Amino acid sequence: MTDYKMHLLICGGTGCKASESDEIKNKLNEFLEEFELQDEVQVVLTGCFGFCEKGPIVKVLPDNTFYTQVKPSDVEEIVKEHVIKGRPVQRLLYTDPTTDKHISDSKGMDFYKKQIRIALKNCGFIDPENVDEYIARNGYEAMGKCLTELTPDEVIKEIKDSGLRGRGGGGFPTGLKWEITKNVENKQKYVVCNADEGDPGAFMDRSILEGDPHSVIEAMAICAYCIGADTGLVYIRAEYPLAIQRLKIAIKQAEEYGLIGDDILGTGFNFKLELRYGAGAFVCGEETALIHSMEGLRGEPTFKPPFPSVSGYLGKPTNVNNVETFANIPVIINKGAAWFNKIGTEKSKGTKVLLWQEKSTMLV
């Protein structure tokens, strides 16, 4: 394994890719090869950093220098000045709007100071197309703990004690939903991830899937273990090509590593994962309409009860959570319900990914 002295992280979310972040990556690699630095400096295309208004973003590690609104024409200067000479390019640093001073470290920026990243903890830090980088940041540890140390009831209790509620809008207690689905007797059950983010301009779930797809895969496997399911379905908008691409890559990698499939970690637990594509109907974000769409029927909601937990996909018990809800699960298992419960409000624990639409900025 190469021991790199420096890492150049480039925002690879949809917004920055539309502003030539791919070209920035290519040019960085070209200049590094020209100066024979490719074995000392690694270029990584990550997920969204969150500060979309200032993209494309390039972060330099280990000094944590944060460059904003980088263009392909800026790459040569970054390499010659910063990488080779160790001098940050001042004109590309973030400028504090209240003081007009340059801030080189993102930790000193007001935008990031108060953020507690849970659902977005890996976005902007790892290559979302490399499962090894996810594993290096405690990836799949939560699933391993659940499968080898905890019973389904113990896992569900942890989720209930955390106070996590559905982040898709309904706010239903996540652990309670899992418990209800688990207690329904049926040999065939399903786990569904609702990635049909239909609100105009919204991209919270999209950013998670583009930047950290394995967190959702891991959480869905944990849910399947708890409720007694062996099949997961991700219902995702066809208008999300990058998220779909990265999900496909992540699923394939997880299968190759034996993290999903048959007899996971030698425990006898089986779990397979498939994608289903939506055609852009806003109403299919509602869980019963979503299920009908996956069944090839008209995507329209129906009266409840019965709830999907009792009769969902193909008439079988089905647990439906959205992307952001699932992204919280591995962290809760790893850090504990008590840790998560200390964050948030009395009735709604944890964090919420927010979209500041006025300036196209995403917060946590």
DSSP tag of 344: B
pLDDT bracket for residue 352 (50, 70, 90): confident
How many Å apart are CA 208 and CA 364, to the nearest integer? 12
Q: At residue 213, what is the residue type?
A: P
The answer to whether residue 101 scores a pLDDT higher than 50 is yes
Instruction: Give the 3-state secondary structure of residue 210.
Output: helix
**pLDDT (average), residues 83-93:** 95
Which value, to the nearest 10 degrees, does the dihedral of the CA atoms of residues 166, 167, 168, 170 take?
Answer: 50
Please report the sign of the dihedral spanned by the C-alpha atoms of residue 284, residue 289, residue 292, residue 298: negative
| d(C-alpha 346, C-alpha 180), whole Å | 23
The count of C-alpha atoms lying within 13 angstroms of the C-alpha of 30, restricted to the half-sphere facing its C-beta, is 10
User: Residue written as tokens 């991700």?
Assistant: 234
pLDDT at 218 over 90: yes
Round the average pLDDT of the chain to a whole number and report it: 92
Other CB atoms within a 10 A radius of the CB of residue 261 amount to 15
What the block records as the tokens of 233 is 């379905």
Euclidean distance between CA atoms 339 and 336, whole angstroms = 6
pLDDT tens-digit map of 248-270 = 999 999 999 999 999 999 999 99
Predicted local distance difference test score (pLDDT) of residue 364? 47
User: Which stretch of DSSP H or E encloses residue 175?
Assistant: helix 174-183
Q: Which two tokens stand for residue 201?
A: 């301009």
Q: Exposed, middle or buried by CB within 10 Å (0-12, 13-18, 19+), for 106? A: buried
Q: Which residues of 139-177 are buried (b: 16+ CB within 10 A; e: fewer)?
A: bbebbeebbeebebeebbebbbbbbbbbbbeeebbbbeb
Q: What would the mean pLDDT of 342-364 be, rounded to a whole number?
A: 70
Instruction: Sketch out the chain's domains with CATH numbers.
Output: 6-113 (3.40.30.10), 138-346 (3.40.50.11540)
Specify the pLDDT at position 358: 41
Please give the Cα distance from 178 to 160 (Å, whole number).
9
Other beta carbons within 10 Å of 307: 18
What tokens does 80 get?
Answer: 């010659």
pLDDT at 295 over 80: yes
| DSSP codes, 257-277 | TTSSEEEETTTTEEEEEEEEE
Q: What is the pLDDT of residue 359?
A: 44
- Whether 357 shows a pLDDT value over 90: the answer reads no
User: Per the confidence metrics, is the pTM higher than 0.85?
Assistant: yes
Question: pLDDT of 227-242, one tens digit each?
Answer: 999 999 999 999 899 9
Q: Output the pLDDT for position 280.
A: 81
Burial of 130 (0-12, 13-18, 19+ CB in 10 A): middle
Average pLDDT over residues 200-206: 78
pLDDT exceeds 70 at position 316: yes
DSSP one-letter code for 73: G
The reported pLDDT for the residue numbered 59 is 96
